[in-house]
Amino acid sequence: MLDIIMSHCKEYDLAVGDKKISAASAPGRVHYLGENGLIGKRLLLSSSIDRTLTVAASLRTDGMFRFFSVEGEERKRTTFVNLRPRREDRWANYIKVAISIFVATPDPAVDPIPETGGLSFTVSSTIPKNKGFGSSSALELASALALRPLFQPNMSDNELLARLAESHKAYFEREYDIVDFYLMMKAEKDRWTVVDESRMAAGLSCARNIATPFAGYKTVVFDSRVPAFESAGEVEIRIEQLQKSLEILGQRKSGMMFQDPEAIELIENETGITEEMRRRCMHAAQEAIRLADLEGAMKTGDIPLIAKIFQHSQNSLRDLYEVSCPEIDWLVRRAGETPGIAAARMIGQGFGGSIFAILTDEAEKEYKAKLEDYERIFGFHPQKHEIRTGESAKYIGLH
């Protein structure tokens, strides 16, 4: 933490100890179950990870907004007028989302441009970028937590998350997976988190933490290195299919949710949806049942049952939701054949990406030997990321 304060002071010629630099951090995350479904209505099992992103922020008097990334030694700058997303600002756009909660962007055609004000930011991160660990969500959340004491110190956590979610949607003009914010705020070390998106209006109570039985195991994410070309369109098609199906099923039961006890029967008997839509819905409904079964198995420490549940989930992603690929299937199948691996499954939106495996040191050695065949067969060299459950996002303080 002190490193980022020193970097911030050096970058912007400030003095340490004047209590004008506000700092906050947010962890990366992994979704183990439930990610592939209808955003806003899912039931997810996730955890934070021990990779974090830290933001330091301080007020300026020249009307400028400056952004500095420590790792890449990359700098961005803008003004009040340009506090809008710009392609060339890339990662700085996520900080702008947080700024917009507290600072109104003037319309140059109507509003006078402020003559004073502005902000300086420094960002430092150990979260791998573009690997499905939620680095952009962590950047938005840590920025908002750092700014709150400077502008609205009495704003509650629930209000902060609600406004951050609204700001992102308005800023980028698209639906956004805001579940990361709730997970990152609720997370606890050595525990996983269940998040019920249907209850997010209730605030942080939509998330609850559960104990895991994985003492003696570690979690490794293996990136398949398969480029997911044009996958965004396929993901959108599936979301649209789920949305349309839910509207039709809602005519049978008002307020229908895929995690409802009667959901599977309704899906099986509904004649107004296509067979492809039915497969998508069955995945979503069965995934909710798997999550409940998995929680029970975790309470009793039934590792074989845990492994079986995750395997069924992977099969469903392959056969019903149809977002897996041969490379991912190979990685998960070989994990299931390796003694000492408690669980393995695809993570992310699919069509490439990564798998996670919960395994012992000996199992990792055996599994890594099998990866030589993966490279020979598919031509990709998997990249390894060892992770542990992390802690929650937090405000670090004024320095």
Task: Report yes or no: 356 and 32 within 8 Å, Cβ to Cβ.
Answer: yes
Query: H/E element holding 302?
Result: none
- Cβ atoms of 34 and 43 within 8 Å: the answer is yes
41 within domain boundaries: yes
Count of domains for the chain: 2
The domain that holds 309 is classified in CATH as 3.30.70.890
Pair (229, 203) in one structural domain = no
Q: Is 85 helix (H, G, I), strand (E, B) or coil?
A: coil
Q: How many Å apart are CA 127 and CA 385, to the nearest integer?
A: 10
Range of the domain at 45: 2-212
User: Collapsing DSSP states into helix, strand and coil, what is residue 322?
Assistant: coil
SS3 content of the chain, % helix, strand, coil (to 5): 45, 25, 35
pLDDT of residue 16: 78
Quick check: 62 pLDDT over 70? yes
Phi, psi of 47 (to 5 degrees): -155, 155
Same domain membership, residue 372 and residue 273: yes
Comparing CA positions, the residue from 369, 306, 364 lying closest to residue 340 is 364
Distance between CA atoms of 142 and 153, rounded to whole angstroms? 15
The rounded percent of the chain whose pLDDT value lies above 70 is 96
Asked if residue 281 is part of any domain, the answer here is yes
pLDDT of residue 83: 84
Q: 69 pairs with which residues across the strands?
A: 74, 123
How confident is the model over 1-6, as a mean pLDDT?
A: 84
Under DSSP, the state recorded for 205 is G
- Please tell me the least confidently modeled range out of 53-62, 173-182, 251-260: 173-182
The amino acid at 171: Y
Task: Give dist(CA 192, CA 212) in Å, integer.
Answer: 7
Residue 256: alpha-carbon gap to chain centroid: 26
pLDDT per residue as tens digits for the range 99-122: 999 987 766 666 666 666 899 999
Return the bridge partners of 58, or none. 120
Return mean pLDDT, the chain. Answer: 92
CA distance 67 to 55: 10
Question: How does DSSP assign 153-174, residue by residue?
Answer: TT--HHHHHHHHHHHHHHHHTS
130, two tokens = 């573009």
Together in a domain, 148 and 279: no
Q: Region 217-228: what's the mean pLDDT? A: 93
Q: Is 130 exposed, middle or buried (0-12, 13-18, 19+ CB in 10 A)?
A: exposed
Q: Residue 9: its pLDDT value, please? A: 93
Mean of pLDDT values over 165-186:
85
Q: Which of 335, 327, 332 is closest to 377 using CA atoms?
A: 327
Question: Residue 332 domain-assigned?
Answer: yes
The answer to the question of residue 375 being in a domain is yes
- Of 73, 175, 66, the residue nearest 117 (C-alpha): 66
Q: Judge if 232 and 271 occupy the same domain.
A: yes
Looking at residue 186, its pLDDT comes to: 97
CA separation (Å) from 355 to 121, 244, 265?
34, 29, 31
Task: Tell me, yes or no, whether 73 and 191 share the same domain.
Answer: yes
My answer on whether 179 and 300 are in the same domain is no
Residues in the chain: 399
- Residue 176, pLDDT > 70, answer no
Please tell me whether residues 172 and 250 are part of one structural domain: no
Question: Is the distance from CB of 39 to CB of 239 less than 8 angstroms?
Answer: yes
- The domain that holds 141 is classified in CATH as 3.30.230.10
Which of these three, 188, 212, 236, is where a domain ends?
212
Q: How confident is the model at residue 170 (pLDDT cuts 50, 70, 90)?
A: confident
Task: Confirm whether 13 is domain-assigned.
Answer: yes
Q: Write down which residue in 212, 242, 277 finishes a domain.
A: 212
Domain membership flag for residue 388:
no
Do 286 and 329 lie in one domain? The reply is: yes
- Residue 390 covered by a domain: no
Please tell me the distance from the alpha carbon of residue 81 to that of residue 109, in angstroms, as a whole number. 10
At residue 255, φ and ψ (nearest 5 deg) are 75, 20
Q: Are residues 234 and 165 in the same domain?
A: no
Residue in 299, 311, 302 with CA at minimum distance from that of residue 338: 311
Examine the domain organization and report whether 47 and 113 are in the same domain: yes
Query: pLDDT tier at 66 (50, 70, 90 boundaries)?
Result: very high
Confidence of residue 230 (pLDDT cuts 50, 70, 90): low
Burial class (CB in 10 A: 0-12, 13-18, 19+), 128: middle
User: Do 204 and 230 have their domain in common?
Assistant: no
Smallest CA-to-CA distance from 383 within 375, 392, 391, 393 is with 375
CB atoms within 10 A of CB 72: 11
User: Taken in order 343, 347, 352, 355, is the CA torsion positive or negative?
Assistant: negative
∠ CA 17-19-22, nearest 5°, is 115
Residue 188 sits in the same domain as residue 320: no
Q: Which of 168, 189, 212 is the last residue of a domain?
A: 212
Least reliable range by pLDDT among 111-120, 236-245, 276-285: 111-120
Of the candidate ranges 104-108, 118-122, 130-134, 206-210, the one whose mean pLDDT is the lowest: 104-108
Query: Could you tell me the pTM of the whole model?
Result: 0.93
How far is it, in rounded angstroms, from Cα 199 to Cα 206? Answer: 5
Look at residue 217 and tell me if it is in a domain. Answer: no
Name the H helices within 270-386.
275-300, 303-319, 326-336, 361-378
- Distance CA(241)–CA(280), nearest Å, equals 7
